[in-house]
A = this chain, B = another copy of it.
């Protein structure tokens, strides 16, 4: 059983928490107004917040996050134009977060799965599959084990450098949904 703290109480936070709770894992949520006062007990801490909130969390919880697996789920889009990312070309939100939390094991995950597909555990008839990128093999393996034991698929997508590609996938998927080319219950499914 994994011990997981989820910062955030939005749709993605609830969907991810629901997945892990249904899988029998120990899940605690930290709401926005508890940030700074609530302790982070989990070995895995999911930052289920918008990209713009990552900096503040890293500042507030930097020391507490040392040694932990920190999961970045963000899609750093310009949500006014839906035409670009707000991170430098070639970089990623996850790489920025890792630079701010050098003592943590940052893992990119859940940014390519819409909330509805986490709840349904399927997308287009295929198992909802979480793409996971990170540099620490143990951290990545622990997250993948927690995800798969909760009934979802999980695929090791490589080093944290691949977060750039995962964020590109998340970006494109969001533009397709906003442009009504796909539905919010759909997306890019992983066929093994």
Contact = CB atoms under 8 A, between A and B. Distances in A.
Interface of A: 83-84, 89-90, 123-126, 131, 155-159, 161-162, 164-166, 168-169, 171-172, 175-176, 179, 181-183, 185-192
B175 A164 contact: no
Nearest to A161: B83
A191 B189 contact: yes
Contact of A191 (B123, B155, B175): B123
A161 B164 CA distance: 16
Number of copies: 2
A182 B190 contact: yes
Nearest to A169: B169
Contact of A169 (B89, B175, B188): B188
Given A124-B126, A156-B181, A165 B168 contact: yes
Interface centre among A124, A125, A161 (most CB of B within 10 A): A124
B176 A157 contact: yes
Contacts of A89: 89-90
B175 A171 contact: no
A186 B84 CA distance: 29
Contact of A183 (B131, B166, B179, B192): B192
Nearest to A89: B90
A155 B188 CA distance: 12
17 contacts: A84-B161, A124-B192, A125-B125, A126-B191, A155-B181, A156-B179, A158-B175, A164-B168, A165-B171, A169-B169, A169-B172, A182-B190, A185-B191, A186-B191, A186-B192, A187-B191, A188-B188
Contacts of A161: 83-84
A175 to B, nearest CB: 6
Contact of A155 (B162, B165, B176): B176
Given A89-B89, A89-B90, A162-B172, 12 more contacts: A83-B159, A123-B191, A155-B176, A156-B179, A157-B175, A158-B172, A165-B172, A186-B190, A186-B191, A188-B188, A188-B191, A189-B191
